[in-house]
Homo-oligomer: A and B are copies of this chain.
Amino acid sequence: MTYRARIAALLSACAVCAFTPALAASPPAMSQKELEAKFDAQIDPAEMGGWLKLLAAEPNHVGSVHDKSNAEWIAAQLKSWGWDARIETFEVLYPTPISEALELTGGPGAGFKATLTEPPVPGDLPTYTKDALPAYVAFQGDGDVTAPLVYVNYGMPEDYLALERMGVSVKGKIAIARYGGGWRGLKPLLAQMHGAAGSIIYSDPKDDGYATDDVYPKGAARPPHGFQRGSVADMPIYPGDPLTPGVGSTKDAKRLDRKDAVTILKIPCLPISYADAQVLLSSLDGPVAPAGWRGALPITYHVGGSASGGQVHIAVKSDWSLKTLYDVVGTLKGKDAPNEWIVRGNHHDGWVMGASDPLSGQIALLAEAKAMGVLVKAGWRPGRTIVYTSWDGEEPMLLGSTEWAETHAEELKAKALVYINSDGNGRGFFRAEGSHAFQHFVNQVTADVKDPETGVSVRDRARARLTVTASEPGASEAVKAEGKIVADPSRDLPLGPLGSGSDYSAFLQHLGLASIDFGYGGEGESGGVYHSLYDDYEHHSRFVDPGFAYDATLARTVGRAVMRLADADLPVQRYGDFADTVSTYLDEVKKLATTKSDEAKNQARLLAGNAYALAADPTMAHANPAPMAQSPTTNFAPLEGAVAKLKTSAAAFDAALAAKGAGLSKPQKARLDAVIRPLDQTLLRPEGLPGRAWYMNMVYAPGRFTGYGAKTLPGVREALEERRFEDAQRYVGITGLALSAYAGELDKATAIVNGG
């Protein structure tokens, strides 16, 4: 069955069972302010810390005993707080390691074997090592290879261009890349695309080890033998179970053969620590690595790849059986519009204990749910239905959220208004990314949440941070431009666009459901235990969020947003913000088209003048860059027209709602809701993005070659970046159609507001 046929065959199982909360006797109505004060009063950081200790007590990877028991505990808590809650299971392909090996077989240091488990460190809790996964990345390809080692820096596209210029090939070799510079999964993928036989990823101390902070447990940074696990499935093609693209991995779902699942890599890959990487990298000869490639190990970084340097044996064998996911879904049924849903989620699986990632966000979600339960008992009931989800299997590739979203696609498209996500959380500054029609709403919410360290609103603190950062020497042009916007206190803080890397992806990019991702962070250096054994309760409570103050603040923020959305009498969206933001994206892609055209012309001139060879050091191997295709002129008129129309329609709607919203009748409001709720689905186009049809949103996508990083107007932008100029022209039209459809629906909404 083809991918699109699978979508058509979607089961229409009910995602959320109808439920009426046990209401207390109806009390006098509370104002929104009173309600939120009552909500805030329920958020208890100490209690949240207790939950974290419990949830993070043992390893929580998919299939672990503790991850399942956490799901059961979460469901039981929700029930005890008055929610209708249940566990929904899926059967997903999730490989686990059977055997693995990594050793130096030739060159300096031959005989060295990498340590593929993380040792306990003095000062941490030693029992935490029990049952932890070894060094492993999920969805790598099993294999057993011995070959020369090549250092490829971050292993990103530009690094392979640099290797080409150095005359170094990874063909048939094992590529060692450091973490950072782009999403993990691209490192083995790009190595594979360039012909490598194996892949190694290590954490350089420059990026999250001793160069950034004292190492754990003295400080927060990665200790020498720590490594980063993670997924390397080819998520930019589609997330979720590789065997069931577009449909839910229910027990009886039709599955692809594993060999046909394009998101599973073909070459073996292992993550290692910097203590081990130092031995491997020291074995390399060949050219000295370029300045930007050098990490903080006390060695001269060489590129390697020769027969006299390091030769490596890598072997990985996985258990490819299906495993069970445990998603928890809880609901508070809406009193006015039970078929309008506000969906909020955070995952509960971790790579090991996962105290910061994801359980710090999970305890915020729990605190919100408990507080809402108390409010319900005190007489409040949301206007719309609130759906709280605790996902399993996010870490291996957004499995729990994607399979649930795919399973319940039709119902979600019919009922859901927004998906609100959080994930790992920490001390510091508020940040949010999301659908830009909600930008003003997010600003309103965060203006009313107090920062625990300074006492001002979290929005004011974030504004201060952005303005000061923009004024620091060396600030980039983009940061300076943002600083100029936020320096005006009457203007909203901009939302960033959503790429991927957490559970909103299926909702936003496959179902066309507006989404927002909330979080705090930016104080202290706490990235060093990411996806390692050391991301535990000790570490989180000592370094990432002492006193759980910001985990509690996340609960106050998201809970507020959820309740306001559930009770909103009129749409909270401001479409002018969306139109203005899309307009800046259009400016960017138009500039990009010029840049790409200039680049090709410039390169042709340099090649014609033999400039690359003359500029090179003749004592080193050197190759000219591959000639770029010359750019045809892209005609942006269809997109320009659509954006102009969008701006007009958005302004008309915003003005109409401001002027006449308060006077709308109940039936008018219901008709308005029916147009607004599914509005973002107009951004979906059935053809999806080139080569990755699962991603259908024409405004927001994760980058094909950035992974987590967002690409806006992706059909056009990525085509230009990759010099696929026919695609670029085609997606100018397709994206224009999506935006025109969006504007058209807005016009309908405006007509309703205007009494039509």
What residues of chain A have their CB less than 8 Å away from a CB belonging to chain B?
Answer: 158, 205-206, 210-215, 219, 221, 288, 291-292, 294, 296-301, 428, 453-454, 456, 460-461, 463-465, 467-469, 471, 473-474, 487, 489, 523-525, 599, 602-603, 605-606, 609-615, 617-619
Contacts and interface: CB of A to CB of B under 8 A. Distances in A.
B523 A617 contact: yes
A523 B606 CA distance: 20
Contacts of A523: 617, 619
Given A214-B288, A453-B618, A612 B468 contact: yes
Nearest to A617: B523
Contact of A614 (B465, B599, B618): B465
Top-5 shortest CB links A-B: A464-B614, A468-B615, A464-B611, A298-B298, A465-B615
Nearest to A610: B464
A428 B617 contact: yes
Contacts of A606: 464, 467-468, 471
A174 to B, nearest CB: 23
A206 B291 CA distance: 10
A525 B288 contact: yes
B211 A602 contact: no
Contacts of A615: 461, 464-465, 467-469
A453 B296 CA distance: 34
A613 B614 CA distance: 52
B487 A294 contact: no
Contacts of A611: 463-464, 467-468
11 contacts: A206-B294, A211-B294, A212-B288, A296-B296, A297-B298, A464-B610, A464-B611, A465-B614, A467-B606, A469-B615, A489-B609
A367 B611 CA distance: 31
Interface centre among A206, A294, A296, A523 (most CB of B within 10 A): A296
Given A297-B298, A456-B614, A464-B606, 5 more contacts: A205-B298, A215-B300, A464-B612, A467-B615, A471-B603
The count of identical subunits is 2
B460 A299 contact: no
Contacts of A297: 298
Given A464-B609, A471-B603, A298 B210 contact: yes
A615 B486 CA distance: 14
A319 to B, nearest CB: 38
A483 to B, nearest CB: 9
Nearest to A461: B614
A213 B300 contact: yes
Given A288-B214, A465-B615, A525-B288, A221 B300 contact: yes
Nearest to A218: B300
A617 B550 CA distance: 13
A428 B614 CA distance: 10
Nearest to A611: B464
A212 to B, nearest CB: 8
A27 B487 CA distance: 78
A206 B299 CA distance: 10
A279 to B, nearest CB: 14
Contacts of A206: 294
Nearest to A465: B615
Interface centre among A428, A605, A617 (most CB of B within 10 A): A617
Nearest to A453: B618
A257 to B, nearest CB: 41
Contacts of A613: 454
Contacts of A288: 212-214, 219, 525
A617 B213 CA distance: 15
Contacts of A464: 606, 609-612, 614-615
Given A288-B214, A464-B610, A468-B611, A300 B618 contact: no
Nearest to A477: B477
A453 B297 CA distance: 34
Contacts of A300: 210-215, 219, 221
A205 to B, nearest CB: 7
Contacts of A453: 618
Nearest to A523: B617
A276 B497 CA distance: 48
A617 B296 contact: no
Nearest to A428: B617
Contacts of A471: 599, 602-603, 606
Contacts of A473: 158
Interface centre among A221, A469, A473 (most CB of B within 10 A): A473
A52 to B, nearest CB: 20
A614 B296 contact: no
A612 B467 CA distance: 9
Interface centre among A297, A611, A619 (most CB of B within 10 A): A611
A468 B624 CA distance: 11
Nearest to A278: B298
A506 to B, nearest CB: 33
Nearest to A291: B212
Contacts of A619: 523-524
A288 B220 CA distance: 11
A160 to B, nearest CB: 13
Contacts of A614: 454, 456, 460-461, 464-465
A164 to B, nearest CB: 14
A428 B460 CA distance: 53
A612 B524 CA distance: 17
Nearest to A213: B288
A618 B465 CA distance: 13
A304 to B, nearest CB: 14
Nearest to A599: B471
A605 B298 CA distance: 44
Nearest to A470: B602
